[in-house]
Amino acid sequence: MDAAKFMSSGPAVLTASWLTAINQLLINAQPLIFGAVAVRIGLGNAELGQLAAVIIATSTIGAISGPLWVRRVDWRWFCGFALVAASAAFAAGSQIDTLTAAALVFGSVSFFLGLLAPPSYGCLGDAKDSGRAFAVAVVFQSSLAAVTTLGLSMIVIPAYSSPGAFLVLAVIVAAGLPFVGFLPAAGAKRDAPAPPIEGAPLLSAAAIPAYAMLVAKALFIGGVLGYWIFIERVGAERGISGQLIGLTISLCAVASAISAGIAGYLAGRMSSLAVAYAGTFIILLAFGLLTIAGFAAFVVSNLCFAFGWGLAQSAYWAVLRNADATNRLFVAGPAASGVGGVAAGLAAGPVIAIGGLTAVTIASGVYLILAAVIAYGVASRRPARIDEAVPPREESPVGAV
C-alpha cells in the first residue's frame, strides 16, 4: 500500500484539528487556571513556574515516543482512550487543595493530552496540503481557546473558582469522543493490517534537517510559552483586574485564529519560512510594546503577540513537515515543543529573581531569534517529503482542506 492511501481526508483533517485544539486546551487556558489555583491554594510565581514545567514535561513524555508507534496503532481507539483519561483527570482537579495535588492533576491531564498529539498531528501531516491543514488546526485551537477562556474568565471562575473551571474543561475534553471515528486507522486495521509509511531511517544523515527543525520548534515554543505562562502575572503587576486580563486572553485567542486563517490562505502562495519570519517579527514587536505602561498598551501588545503566534505556528509546522525525510519525526513536534516549554518554565524562576518579568520577556525574544536562524538554515536545504514522489490514486481520499 503506498503512502497516498494514508493521506488524510477532509473530515479526518477537521477531526484531527479538533483533537489538537483539545491537546492545546490546558496550555491555552493555563493563565486563567493558574490564576484561579494560585488564589485558591496560595501559590507564588516560582511555584507556578514549577507547575508549568510539570505540565509541559508530562505532555512531552506522552508525545515523545510518537515516531516509534504512530504508524502502528489504531488512531481511533488510541485517541478515544486518551480523551477519556484526560477528562477524568480534569474532573479530579476540582478537588485539589495543595501544591502536590495540583502537580499530580496537572501532570496526569497533560500526559494524556500529550498522547493525542502524535495521531492528530500525524493525520494533519498526511494531508495533501499539510501547511494548510496545520493552519486549520491552529484556527481550531484558537477558536476553542477564545470561547473557553471567555467563559472561564467571565462566568465560571468568578462564580465557581478553580473547581468549576476544571469540571468545564473535563466536559470539553469528553466532547472529542464522538468524532474519533472520522480518523484513519493508520495501519492498525483488524481486518487487513497495512504496512506503516516509511521514509529515511530515524538515525541517518537525511534525518538531520528534521532534527534541526525540532530544535527550532522547541526554541520557538519556549519563546512563546516563556511569556504566555506569565501573561496573567504581567497584567496583575500593572494593576489590571482579573476580568480584564481574562478578556484580553480571550481576544488573544481570536487574534491567533484570524492570523492562522491568514497563514492557511498564504500556504502555497508564500513560503512557509517567510510566514514564520513575519509572525516572529510581530511577536518581537509586541514585546517592545510591552514597555509602554497602561491597559491599552497591555491589550495591543498581547493582541500583536497572539497574532504573530498564530501566523508563525502553522508555518513552523509546515517547515518541519517538509524537512522530514523520515515521514515520522514530524509527529515529535509537540514533544519538541514540550522540551522548549519545560526549559522556559524551569528558567522562569531564576530569571524573574534576576530581572523580574521583563527579563522573562527578553529571554523569550532571544529564543525566537535563535529558532528563526535555525529554520532558515533548514529551509534553504530541505529534502523532499517522501510522499511527494508518490502520485495519488484516484480512489484515494486525499484531503482538500
| All three cell numbers of 24 | 492545546
pLDDT given for residue 396 in this prediction: 26
pLDDT given for residue 340 in this prediction: 81
Taking the chain, what is the end-to-end CA distance rounded to the nearest angstrom?
Answer: 23
- Which range in 262-266, 284-288, 388-392 is most confidently predicted, on average pLDDT? 284-288
Q: pLDDT band at 222, cuts 50/70/90?
A: confident
List CB contacts of 164: < 8 A, sequence separation 6 or more.
94, 156, 157
Task: Evaluate whether residue 341 is within a structural domain.
Answer: yes
Task: Evaluate whether residue 400 is within a structural domain.
Answer: no
pLDDT given for residue 398 in this prediction: 25
Of 194 and 41, the one with more pLDDT: 41
Structural domain of residue 134, as residue ranges? 3-188+202-385
List CB contacts of 195: < 8 A, sequence separation 6 or more.
1, 187
Q: pLDDT band at 188, cuts 50/70/90?
A: very low
Give the total residue count for the chain: 401
pLDDT given for residue 90 in this prediction: 94
Task: Evaluate whether residue 216 is within a structural domain.
Answer: yes
| All three cell numbers of 356 | 523580574
Task: Evaluate whether residue 397 is within a structural domain.
Answer: no
pLDDT given for residue 186 in this prediction: 65
- Which range in 157-161, 183-187, 378-382, 388-392 is most confidently predicted, on average pLDDT? 157-161
In degrees and rounded to multiples of 5, residue 321 shows phi and psi of -65, -40
Instruction: Average the pLDDT over 134-141 and give the result.
Output: 84
Task: Evaluate whether residue 244 is within a structural domain.
Answer: yes
Task: Evaluate whether residue 85 is within a structural domain.
Answer: yes
**Whether pLDDT at 300 is above 80:** yes
Instruction: Average the pLDDT over 198-221 and give the result.
Output: 79
Q: pLDDT band at 78, cuts 50/70/90?
A: very high
Closest by Cα among 147, 181, 125 to 25: 147
Are 124 and 133 in contact, with CB atoms under 8 Å apart?
yes
The identity of residue 280, as a single letter, is: T
Are 55 and 176 in contact, with CB atoms under 8 Å apart?
no
pTM across the whole model: 0.71
Task: Evaluate whether residue 78 is within a structural domain.
Answer: yes
| All three cell numbers of 260 | 492562522
CA distances from 292 to 25, 31, 287, 368 (A): 30, 22, 10, 21
In whole angstroms, give the CA distance from residue 183 to residue 398.
13
**Percentage of the chain exceeding pLDDT 70:** 87
Task: Evaluate whether residue 57 is within a structural domain.
Answer: yes
**Whether pLDDT at 399 is above 50:** no
Structure letter (DSSP) for residue 398? -
Number of domain units in the chain: 1
List CB contacts of 356: < 8 A, sequence separation 6 or more.
none
CATH code of the domain covering residue 126: 1.20.1250.20
pLDDT given for residue 8 in this prediction: 58
